[in-house]
Chain A
Amino acid sequence: MNAKKAATLALGILTSVGGFFDVGNIATSVQAGAVFRLQLLWPLILGTILVIFLVEMSGRFAAVTRQALPDAIRTHLGFAAWLGPFLILSLVHFLVLGAEIGGICFALHLITGLPVPFWALPVAALTWLFLWRTSFSAIENSTSLLGLVTLAFVVAAWLHHPPTGQILAGMLPTLPHHDPVRYWFMAVSLLGAVISPYMFYFYSSGAVEDKWDDSYIGVNRGVAFIGMGFGSVISLAAIVVAAVVLAPRGIQVDDYHQAALMLTQAFPFWGFVLFAASMAIACLGAAVEVALSMAYTTAQTFGWNWGEDLDPREDTRFCLIYTGAILGSALLILFGVDPLKLTLLTMAINAAVLPFIAIPFLLLMNDRKLLDKHCNGWISNGITLLTVLLSIVLAVVSIPLLIKGGS
């Protein structure tokens, strides 16, 4: 491996670690730990295994074909076959973007005490400016490197000396000890937060932006396995901290104010600031990625020019999509939608729409004409099939649980 690829791998791992954690992970992990202590670590482990394979596949696909996923699905399976999944994906992108913007607004509310809706338009303007003024690599590297502040959760978990036996036991699926409806709703939401469809659509477009070719397959594998693997440790740590700090006090997390207290015992003076900073940076990084992912997907679906590194005059429609998406999602927060409720709703929807997103992906990954020797092997196919089956079960379960558990 040459020096450039080694640097790409190292940076890729760092950005995956820093970029893994977003508002969905914060909300679902903290709620799961606060209510079910260490019992819900298994959906996170399962989701991480699945997302590692999905991200690896989307990177491999882009490196071999030099096409991003929506582009390839439209070209090879037809516009009609892609239209349904595209519309569903656009709705999910929009809601996730709203949840991320809500997360940044809440972090600013924590620091300043000003109402959450007050921050909606300034945050939208900041996110938009970030996209308008910077290049793809600047966005990817700056937000994700700053996102390493979320490692505060890992340090806090370590400082609390959590029970190792219970952590290991929580990694195996078990039936709930109490409140089964809420337990399954949270398991669904945790999975939805980890297997966010935007993540692998963004990743494949990013690989095309970075001009990957098949010599990057090893780098891609390293980034997916090591980066995502370590990234999930942050979510795991958030569950552990909530389990040892909030649960024994009887604090469930029905509002982000309750979550904001979780680092204050490990870091008596800085804990509150670290929580707000982690939330703001993680959500800003994710908001930028989701807005870009939405613009990538739309442009690739309709065959428009696209690229974050292009001058806006060369891809006007691409820029208009992320501008409109940011403004529209910010309006949700401006008009008083609760950021936590929006996040939990979005994560359950994420889980429900996975079959629509994963099936076309699976078909492409088995196309020998496209991928030749880089086609999916039995392990990748087995994992993706498991993802599809799991997503169908999740889709069935998440709808009633959304009504019951999310109410």
Chain B
Amino acid sequence: MWNFFSQGLRPLLRTALAVAAGLCLACSSHSPEEKLLDTAQTASSWIATLRMTGEQWGANSVPTSFVKTTVKAARADLEKEAEDAAESKAPPELRDPFHQMVTEAESAGDRLWRAAEANDRPGVAREVGRLAALQAGLDALRKRHGEGA
């Protein structure tokens, strides 16, 4: 048994580690534009989450505390994405509108939470609409640049 582990498994592990290292290297190269597009996908997902949270709050399907914690979680991610965008070396025609949309999404999230807390249903519906427009804009931006990346 010990021989099996020491003689049979070691060469196998060495080969496995070599292949793993190769795959690591292959996975690690991404252009700044591709990196920003990946970030944009995560941002779009968070905007969609905020939008659905607002809709479900309006339908009495989620509590106000959930709106608050989801906005908080989304904000933490969107802030990081805005920082990534500000530091990105991607072309300005992608970076600048993306940065602006993420910043707007953060504000829309905050307004959504305040409206839910105040039980302001028209206010929540308004922010849901804004988030839908932001998501559509971001997806169009991703599509435009994704095709060329």
The residues of A with any CB-CB pair to B shorter than 8 Å are 77-78, 80-81, 84, 109-110, 112-113, 181, 249-252, 254-255, 257-258, 260-261, 264, 268-269, 271-272, 355, 359-360, 363, 392, 395-397, 399-401, 403-404
Minimum distance in angstroms from B28 CB to a CB of chain A:
7
Q: Which residues of A contact B45 (CB under 8 A)?
A: 250-252, 254, 258
CA distance A84 to B13 in the complex (A): 14
- Assuming the contacts A392-B16, A400-B23, A404-B27, asked whether A261 and B49 have C-beta atoms less than 8 A apart, the reply is yes
Q: Which residues of B contact A77 (CB under 8 A)?
A: 1
Minimum distance in angstroms from B142 CB to a CB of chain A:
10
- Assuming the contacts A77-B1, A249-B52, asked whether A255 and B73 have C-beta atoms less than 8 A apart, the reply is yes
A392 touching B12, Cβ below 8 Å: yes
A257 touching B65, Cβ below 8 Å: no
A264 touching B48, Cβ below 8 Å: no
Contact of A264 among B20, B61, B135 (CB under 8 A): B61
CA distance A359 to B8 in the complex (A): 12
Contact of B73 among A251, A257, A261, A359 (CB under 8 A): A257
Question: How many residues of B are in contact with the other chain, CB < 8 A?
Answer: 41
CA distance A4 to B59 in the complex (A): 49
Q: Which residues of A contact B5 (CB under 8 A)?
A: 81, 84
Q: Which residues of A contact B1 (CB under 8 A)?
A: 77-78, 81, 360, 363
B48 touching A269, Cβ below 8 Å: no
Minimum distance in angstroms from B45 CB to a CB of chain A:
4
Q: Which residues of B contact A181 (CB under 8 A)?
A: 27
- Assuming the contacts A77-B1, A251-B52, A252-B45, asked whether A272 and B20 have C-beta atoms less than 8 A apart, the reply is no
Total residue contacts A-B, CB cutoff 8 A: 99
Given A113-B68, A399-B20, 8 additional A-B pairs, CB 8 A: A78-B2, A81-B1, A272-B62, A359-B4, A395-B16, A396-B23, A400-B20, A401-B23
Minimum distance in angstroms from A115 CB to a CB of chain B:
9
CA distance A260 to B69 in the complex (A): 12
CA distance A392 to B66 in the complex (A): 42
- 7 closest cross-chain pairs (CB), A and B: A113-B65, A400-B23, A404-B27, A400-B24, A252-B45, A81-B1, A264-B61
CA distance A113 to B71 in the complex (A): 12
Q: Which residues of B contact A250 (CB under 8 A)?
A: 44-45, 48, 135, 139
Does B33 reach chain A (CB closer than 8 Å)?
Answer: no
Q: Which residues of A contact B2 (CB under 8 A)?
A: 78, 80-81
A272 touching B61, Cβ below 8 Å: yes
Q: Which residues of A contact B52 (CB under 8 A)?
A: 249, 251, 261
A269 touching B60, Cβ below 8 Å: yes
A261 touching B56, Cβ below 8 Å: yes
B66 touching A110, Cβ below 8 Å: yes
Q: Is the interface of A mostly helix, strand, loop or mixed?
A: helix
A109 touching B69, Cβ below 8 Å: yes
B62 touching A258, Cβ below 8 Å: no
Minimum distance in angstroms from A357 CB to a CB of chain B:
13
Contact of B61 among A84, A258, A269 (CB under 8 A): A269
Does B110 reach chain A (CB closer than 8 Å)?
Answer: no
Does B133 reach chain A (CB closer than 8 Å)?
Answer: no
CA distance A257 to B60 in the complex (A): 17
Does B100 reach chain A (CB closer than 8 Å)?
Answer: no
Minimum distance in angstroms from B19 CB to a CB of chain A:
5
CA distance A271 to B57 in the complex (A): 12
Does B88 reach chain A (CB closer than 8 Å)?
Answer: no
B62 touching A261, Cβ below 8 Å: yes
Q: Which residues of B contact A399 (CB under 8 A)?
A: 20, 23-24
Chain B, 15-33, CB within 8 A of any chain A CB: 16, 19-21, 23-24, 26-28
Minimum distance in angstroms from A199 CB to a CB of chain B:
24
- Assuming the contacts A396-B16, A396-B20, A397-B23, asked whether A249 and B66 have C-beta atoms less than 8 A apart, the reply is no
B49 touching A257, Cβ below 8 Å: yes
A257 touching B77, Cβ below 8 Å: no
A112 touching B65, Cβ below 8 Å: yes
CA distance A261 to B65 in the complex (A): 14
21 A-B residue pairings within 8 Å (CB atoms)? A77-B1, A78-B2, A80-B2, A81-B2, A81-B5, A84-B5, A110-B66, A112-B65, A249-B51, A250-B139, A251-B45, A257-B49, A258-B49, A261-B52, A264-B61, A268-B60, A272-B63, A397-B20, A400-B21, A400-B23, A404-B27
Q: Which residues of B contact A109 (CB under 8 A)?
A: 69
Nearest A residue to B47 via CB reads A250
Q: Which residues of B contact A260 (CB under 8 A)?
A: 62, 66
Q: Which residues of B contact A396 (CB under 8 A)?
A: 16, 19-20, 23
- Assuming the contacts A250-B44, A250-B135, asked whether A257 and B24 have C-beta atoms less than 8 A apart, the reply is no
Minimum distance in angstroms from A288 CB to a CB of chain B:
27
Q: Which residues of A contact B49 (CB under 8 A)?
A: 251, 257-258, 261
Nearest A residue to B45 via CB reads A252
Nearest B residue to A82 via CB reads B1
Q: Which residues of A contact B28 (CB under 8 A)?
A: 404
Nearest B residue to A110 via CB reads B66
Does B42 reach chain A (CB closer than 8 Å)?
Answer: yes
CA distance A272 to B61 in the complex (A): 7
